[in-house]
Amino acid sequence: MRVAGSSAVITGASAGVGRATAARLARAGASVGLVGRDAKALEETRSEIASLGGVAYVAPADVADPDGLFAAAEFLAEKQGPPDLWINNAMLTVFSPVSEITPAEFRRVTEVTYLGAVHGTMAALRQMRPRGTGAIIQVGSALAYRGIPLQAAYCGAKHALRGFTDSLRCELIHEGSRITLTMVQLPAVNTPQFDWARTHRSHQPRPVAPVVQPEAVAEAIMAAVERPSRERWLGLSTAKVVLGSMVAPAWLDRYLARNAFEAQDRPERVTADRPDNLEAPVHALHRARGAFGREAAPRVASWSGSEVRATLAGVALAGLAAAVGLASRRRRASR
C-alpha cells in the first residue's frame, strides 16, 4: 500500500518498536494514531513526531480492554479518517520459570500480548470492512514458532497470535476481501522492555543475542506495509529458530535447556525497588531504544516466509539432483 497520505494506527506506540515505527510512518507521510496505556508518554511520542514534521494523534487505551480500544479506534477515525493501516504491537512479558509465575501474571501477559492483538484486529476490521480494503500488521516474534524457557506466557501468546492470524487470513480469502494480513516475526530487539518487564530471576533480564535496533525493525515493517506478504522473517537468527524448530525440535529443546537460561541474564542483580510494567506503565523509561545499543545491529535482513521456503526447496532439489547424478555415475563406472 502507499504510505504517504495514509491513516495508520499502532498499539504499544510509546516505546520500543512501536515508537520507532510510529516515527518512521510519520516521516513517510502517514498520519499516525498512537495507542498505549501511558497518556503522557504518548504525548511525548506525538511531540517527537511533530518535531520531525509529522502528524500524530493520541488515544490512550489498554489493549486488554476491548471496549476502551474500540473507543480509541473510533476517536482516531474521527481525527484522521478510518485506518488504512493498523499495526498490533503492544506486548508484555514476565521472565520466570512456569513453576514460579502466578496465574494472574500469566493471564495478564496473555490478555495484552495475545488478546490485545485480537482486539486490535477486530477494531481495525470494523473500520476496514465497510471499505473492503486496508492492511493489518501483526508484530510477532521468532518465539511464535519456538518457545524458550523463562518466557512461557509470552511465547504462548505469540504462538496463539500466529494461529489466530492464519484462521482470519483464510476467512478474508473466503470473503474475497482486499484487506491484507501480514505477520512480521522479530528477532531480539534493543528496547526498554528488559528494564521494565517483571522478572522472578535474581539477575536483570536481557535479550538473547544477536540483537537489532528498533529502527531496523521499523524499516522492515515499512517494507511489509509497502509490499504485503503472508509473513516476514527478520534476521538470520529468526530464520534459524523457525527452521530449527521444524527440522530438529528435540535437539533444540536440549540446546535451549543448556544455554537459554543464562543467555537471558545480565550480570547486574535485581534490586528490591525495581519497577515493572505488568499492571501499570513505568513512566521513566518510554523511549525507542533500550540498554543494549553497543551490541545492537543498525540493520536487519528481511525475507518473506515463502522466499525462505522456496530457497530451501531449491537447495534440497539441487542436493537431490546431485545425489542422483553421483549415484548414476557410480553405477556406470561399476559396469
Q: Which residues are catalytic?
A: 154
Which H or E run contains 69?
Answer: helix 66-80
Strands 178-185 and 133-139 come out as parallel
CA dist., res. 305 & res. 320, Å (int): 22
Q: At residue 43, what are phi and psi to the nearest 5 degrees?
A: -65, -40
* The length of the chain, given as a count of residues: 335
Beta-bridge partners for 88: 138
Residue type for position 49: I
If one counts every other C-beta atom within 10 angstroms of the C-beta of residue 3, the result is 19
Q: Are 149 and 256 in contact (CB under 8 A)?
A: yes
Q: Are 186 and 142 in contact (CB under 8 A)?
A: yes
